[in-house]
Structure formats: C-alpha cells, structure tokens
Amino acid sequence: MKKHNFSAGPCILPPEVLLKASQAVVDFDNSGLSLIEISHRSKPFVDVMEKARALALELLGLEGKGYKALFLQGGASTQFLAVAYNLLENKAGYLNTGTWSNKALQEAKLFGDVQEVASSKDANFNYIPKGFEISSDLDYFHCTSNNTIFGTQLKSFPKCDIPMVCDMSSDIFSRELDFYRFDLIYAGAQKNMGPAGTTLVVVKEDILGKVSRQIPSMMDYKKHIGSGSMFNTPPVFPVYVSMLTLEWLKNLGGIKAIEEINNKKASLIYSEIDLNPLFKGFASKADRSTMNATFTLENDNLKETFETMLKEAGINGLNGHRSVGGYRASMYNALSLDSVKVLVEVMSELESKA
C-alpha cells in the first residue's frame, strides 16, 4: 500500500515523476543508456540542465529579468556560506526565525559583521518578528521564507532597499510571491523539487562581483554562471528529477494552481487542530506555515493509540523535530489533499475515542 507521506524532507514527490525517473535510470529516452551513465557534457544531459534552469526561472516569473538559475551541490547549508562569500563585504543583516536562519547567520559571521535584525528566539521561534527596520548600509538582508522545523512562514517580506537574500528551501514553488523582490533565492531540492543532492540558486547577476575578497571557484556564483552550471560534474540524477518535477508543476498550472491546493490542505489541517481539543498548534496563527503544520497532542496517555492509528492509516513521517516535539505534518506540493483528509479523519476519530 502506498503510504501518505508527511515527511519533512526528503519527502514525497509526484508518482509520475518517480516513474519517469526510474525509467530514465534504466534507459534514458530510448537511448540504450542510463541517465546516470552518460556524460554530463553530452547533448542529452546538457539539454536536461538547460531545461531545468529555464523552467525554474519561468515558474518564478523571472525570465529575461537579469537572473540566472544554477543547480549546485552541498545542500542549502553550503549556500549559508556561499552567500556570504559572494556578497558580504562589511556587514549583513539576518532575520533569525529558527534553526536554519540561525545556522545561516553563524556561517556568515566567518566573513564579516552580522547584525541580527530581529529574532523570535524568545518564544522558541513560534512566531515571525514584525516591524523591524533594515538599515540601508548593510550589504544584504537574509531571511528564511519558511521555517521547516517550527512551522512558521513569512507571509510578507520587509521593505528593503538593499539586496534581499532568501532561503526558500521548504516553500519554493508552493505559493505566489513577487520573486522579483529577491536578489538571491536558494533552496535545497529535497522538498518541493527533487531528491537530495542539488540546490537551486536563483541570482540576479548584477549583485555579483562587488566583494573585494578572492572567491574559490566552487563557491563563486559568477564561475558557475559562466560555465552554465557545469563548472564540475553536476548531480545529474537530482537535476533530472528536479526538471521532471518542474515540468509536472508547469503542466498542473504552475505556482498559482498549486498554491490553491496547498491552501486547501493547510486550512483543513489547521481547522482540525483548532477545533479538536486534543491537539494544540505550535506556531502563532498569523504565521502558520502552509507547508509544515506543527502541533502537539495535549493528552500524553493517548500517544500510543494515536500513533497506532496513524500507522494503520498508512501515515508516514509525522514525528515532530526534537526542538519542538509533538507532530509535524509536512504538506509539500506533491502531497494530495486526500492524504490530508486521511490524517484529519484519524485526528477526529481519536477525539471520538477519547
């Protein structure tokens, strides 16, 4: 039985993407060769890379606007330092909304001064700070659009007259935003895009080349742009699967279409959390993530029953992160509304049993 996969990442991917990807591993486009045994410099793979890069820009509405898309390696965690390597000359501002933004901030400190513009650490990151000022003498401002662990999400982005950098690892391609407001976006593939192993970087070219330091080639966005995201052997399989997922999203109607579904999934689970006295939401209501719903079970005695019911319903990956505890329902693009309905049914059945 196929499971209802609420895993936080790596996570669910569209079934047709998995099927096409598995076929390509055996025989890529009837070539008699596997996708993972051909040269990355061969035309068939260069076409894959170019298509993936073009689709990323197209879906974000950033084609022809001075941006380049790259598929790099080292996870989003490598971008924590790559961003600072390429952009931090004197001082940068970071919004601290949880584990990942804090890690990004700590890495940047190795390259220059870092100002914590605002933080929600005082309440274990259960909300998004608001009303803070961003000084125009900073080199850039960095934020995390969706906090995977705590289940909070920036619903609006601050006014900013310096370059804005955003880690969109856990909500890229899930909702419409004015992506043109961002100068650099990065996202690990393993949530809304593909398998772990590649990270999408979308960068406005004119913010680059302004720091005085020497940048090692593998960290240098300009070098990656100059070599068509092929400075070294790219992660061919993750890039191919990302391309397939982006195609799937485009055929579905793009970000606008998936956002509607994502909103339905989120309102279904949050209304159950709010109505069912057995559960309590973790994140502040105004800042609740449409991707990761975090909640706790109020009565510990029901834990075992609930978990057995989840198992019987084929629900996978609902355990919360250790820093929050409780449960986390990750509802990335490929998770169906039906899977959320199954979870909500289990939650309400628990109430009737209690």
How far apart are the C-alpha atoms of 1 and 314, rounded to whole Å? 8
Under rule CB under 6 A, which residues in 188-247 are in contact with ligand PMP? 188
Angle (nearest 5°) at CA 221 between 215 and 226: 110
Active site residue 167: yes
Under rule CB under 6 A, which residues in 99-118 are in contact with ligand PMP? 100
Which residue is nearest to ligand PMP, using beta carbons? 75
The reply to whether 10 sits near ligand PMP by the rule CB under 6 A is no
Give the phi and the psi of residue 165 in degrees, each rounded to 5.
-110, 135
The reply to whether 170 sits near ligand PMP by the rule CB under 6 A is yes
The single residue among 77, 284, 296, 348 that binds ligand PMP, judged by CB under 6 A, is 77
Residue at token pair 């609902």 = 318
- In a 13 Å sphere around the CA of 300, the CA atoms on its Cβ side amount to 1
User: Which one, 163 or 194, has the nearer CB to ligand PMP?
Assistant: 194
**Please, which residues have CB within 8 angstroms of residue 38's CB and are 6 or more apart in sequence?**
28, 31, 44, 45
Under rule CB under 6 A, which residues in 327-346 are in contact with ligand PMP? none
The single residue among 35, 76, 258, 344 that binds ligand PMP, judged by CB under 6 A, is 76
Report the chain's terminal Cα–Cα distance, integer Å: 28
User: Which one, 169 or 242, has the nearer CB to ligand PMP?
Assistant: 169
Catalytic residue, chosen from 100, 183, 220, 287, is 100
Active site residue 100: yes
The reply to whether 9 sits near ligand PMP by the rule CB under 6 A is yes
Under rule CB under 6 A, which residues in 143-162 are in contact with ligand PMP? 144, 148
The reply to whether 94 sits near ligand PMP by the rule CB under 6 A is no
Binding residue numbers for L-glutamate:
41
Q: Minimum distance between the CB of residue 100 and ligand PMP, rounded to whole angstroms?
A: 4
Catalytic residue, chosen from 20, 68, 139, 167, is 167
Burial class (CB in 10 A: 0-12, 13-18, 19+), 256: exposed
How far apart are the C-alpha atoms of 4 and 121, rounded to whole Å? 32
Closest among 287, 278, 259, 264 to 327, alpha carbons compared:
278
Binding residue numbers for pyridoxal 5'-phosphate:
76-77, 100, 148, 167, 190, 232-233
Burial class (CB in 10 A: 0-12, 13-18, 19+), 197: buried
The reply to whether 305 sits near ligand PMP by the rule CB under 6 A is no
Question: Do 203 and 57 form a contact (C-beta atoms < 8 A)?
Answer: no
Interface ranges with ligand PMP (CB under 6 A): 9, 75-77, 100, 144, 148, 167, 169-170, 188
**Residues with catalytic function:** 100, 167, 191
